[in-house]
Amino acid sequence: MAGYLEARPRVGYFYTGKTGTQLLADKIKKMKVSDYQSIPVVINENVSVYDAIVTMFLEDVGTLFVVDDESLLVGALSRKDLLRASIGKQELTSIPVNIIMTRMPNITFCEKDDLLIDVAQKLIEKQIDAMPVVKKVDKGYEVVGRITKTNMTKVLVALAKEDVL
């Protein structure tokens, strides 16, 4: 069960030759997004910047995903976007988030069946805190989850606590 030995009919048990590190790498390469994603926090594109800030604090998240009236992904809002919009003398209750959000197709996203290691690589390359997990539908993409740096940290802790080898 540890992976050091394998069994074959008429041969019996034999040493696989894999080190503990190789066995751990094999386990990590099989992990899917669907096993570690969390619940997404979405807002409508017509919501005010003020309401988006309140939602972000109440939900305790760093990224909000913006959807249209058909619940399709149209944008993303980070803490930095909201901070940039709040600096100055604008009336935050009158500015809709679709003015300041990062729009499709500039949003990096993943799907449930993607490998977790590939998604982690995208988070690092794009220097983003969270990524929506989407499902392809006829007219676009529906948000079904999110993967964050916190999710990745939880995976790392779970691997360390679990007797993998």
The one-digit pLDDT tens for each residue of the chain (165 residues) are 455 556 667 655 655 666 767 777 788 888 999 999 999 999 999 999 999 999 999 999 999 999 999 999 999 999 999 998 888 778 888 889 999 999 988 999 999 999 999 999 999 999 999 999 999 999 999 999 999 999 999 998 888 887 544
Sign of CA dihedral 153, 157, 158, 163: positive
Check residue 129 and give its pLDDT.
93
The structural domains of the chain, with segments of one domain joined by +, span 33-161
pLDDT value for 160: 84
Nearest 10 degrees: Cα torsion 150, 83, 70, 146: -10
The whole-model pTM stands at 0.80
Element spanning 150, H or E: helix 149-161
The secondary structure element, H or E, covering residue 157 is helix 149-161
Chain Cα centroid distance, residue 50: 25
Output the pLDDT for position 105: 87
For residue 39, the 8-state DSSP code is -
Residue 137 buriedness (CB in 10 A; 0-12 / 13-18 / 19+):
exposed
pLDDT at 49: 93
pLDDT of residue 112: 95
Q: What is the pLDDT of residue 164?
A: 42
Q: 33-161 is classed in which CATH architecture?
A: Roll (3.10)
Helices within 29-146 (DSSP H only)? 49-59, 79-86, 116-126
pLDDT at residue 2 in the model:
55
pLDDT (0 to 100) of residue 29: 87
37 contacts 147 by C-beta, under 8 angstroms: yes
